[in-house]
Structure 1
Amino acid sequence: MGVSDKIVRLMKKKGLSRYKLAKESGVPYTTLIKILDGTTKNPQIETLSAIADVLKVPVDYLLGRGDIYDIGWAIREEREEQGLTADELGDAIGVHEEIILDYESDQMPISLAMAEKITNAFGLSYVAFLDKYNLYDEYLPPQFEDDADQYEAFKAAVDRDAQSDAYSYTLTPKEEHDIVKDLERIMADLESNQALAFHGEPIDDEEMELLRASLENSLRIAKMVAKKKFTPKKYSK
């Protein structure tokens, strides 16, 4: 669905004529007509923002940026658990009740920015929300005690370290050997745990290999960061 199709669909839902949308958004009528009939292929962001404000949708929705599907049911469950109506949630994040209902029924995809806004209104981070409803699709190492937020913070810190000189440290053959041993031990423990699953489904061979690669990378990073921390500066070059 293109920009013009989305605008027309929302205009129909709200009972807005072209003239009224142009008047309320401040967009010249002729400009709006060109957008709606597809003559203007790349409308200016300021124009789309003005239209989106009247339609009570994020401009990212019109542009199709970062669309997220299949989380509407979880949003509805969390809203109902917190005793909120769709209207109250809409007021909290600045959109119309109908938009919330469209999100919940997956009739309208959600941008990442809007998903974060909604989950923050619930008092949850987006990651914590995904984890609560088994939508978080990454393996959580045991040391993070099922805290997805903590794991995401750790990964962000690792990414920052990647921009520093942390990885100028070369691991010795013994350290590489230790990583292999630790990895095999962890994988053996995981494979012996019959309850290990993603979203209630047993991990298949491909997922197990991805998990192995992720764990190996994490072990190597941890070893390098530790080496940097405990190596005297005069020997760090």
Structure 2
Amino acid sequence: MELVEKIKEVMKSKGLTQYKLAKNSKIPHSTMSTLLNGGIKSPTIELIAKIADTLEVPVSVLLGEDELGELLTREKEELELNQKIYVLLNLVSNNGKVFPAEAHQEIFNIFGGSLFAKVPEVNLFDEWYRKYLEEGDSLYTSNEAEEKFNKFYNPATIMHRLREWKDVDFRIKERYLSKLKQLKVSLTTPSWISENDKVFQIEDLTSYQISYKGKELTSDQKQKLLKLTQALLD
């Protein structure tokens, strides 16, 4: 039995309305309505778990063992994909905060017009930026244009959107990753490399002292970072 039909069946047995289920699950009513009307093709395990908890049934009752296994596998794959995109965005950016000016057009070509398709403020910027790239804009200097770009397109805003964009086709994220790997701009030299170093070998990564958010990475964490970086570049 499909997920939506099973949820409705249990709702009926529990005497719960759609409004009450949404309220008790702390799920926006609009989201619940979209789900129960078949508008969410790939609901997350987090969303289903909230509903199952409110209905007081195991998640497997709503999904079935096979479907639950497939969903967990898909979410694991999506998490790994997000991590790969995160690493590449940080390699291209300046200290993980903003992208260098020479990367702006390529970053926009990857994410512009699709990643923030339903965000009005960004949509207005996208429209302006396309014209700016084609015709220029006498109202703004190049530095001002770069500031406007960095407001909407930086590693933090992109990753936040990717994580929150629950109903995105997995293939779209794979396409983002593929295009990031093909960027023509040079990857930013990692911040843990001194200015005196002329060449950095990826294989030597674990021999450096690396910190993240003020905490030094352990040997195991550096090994994981090395393997992930190698996988991205292979």
| TM-score, structure 2 normalization | 0.28
User: Larger C-alpha radius of gyration, 1 or 2?
Assistant: 1
If asked which structure has higher relative contact order (CA below 8 Å, sep 6+), I would say 2
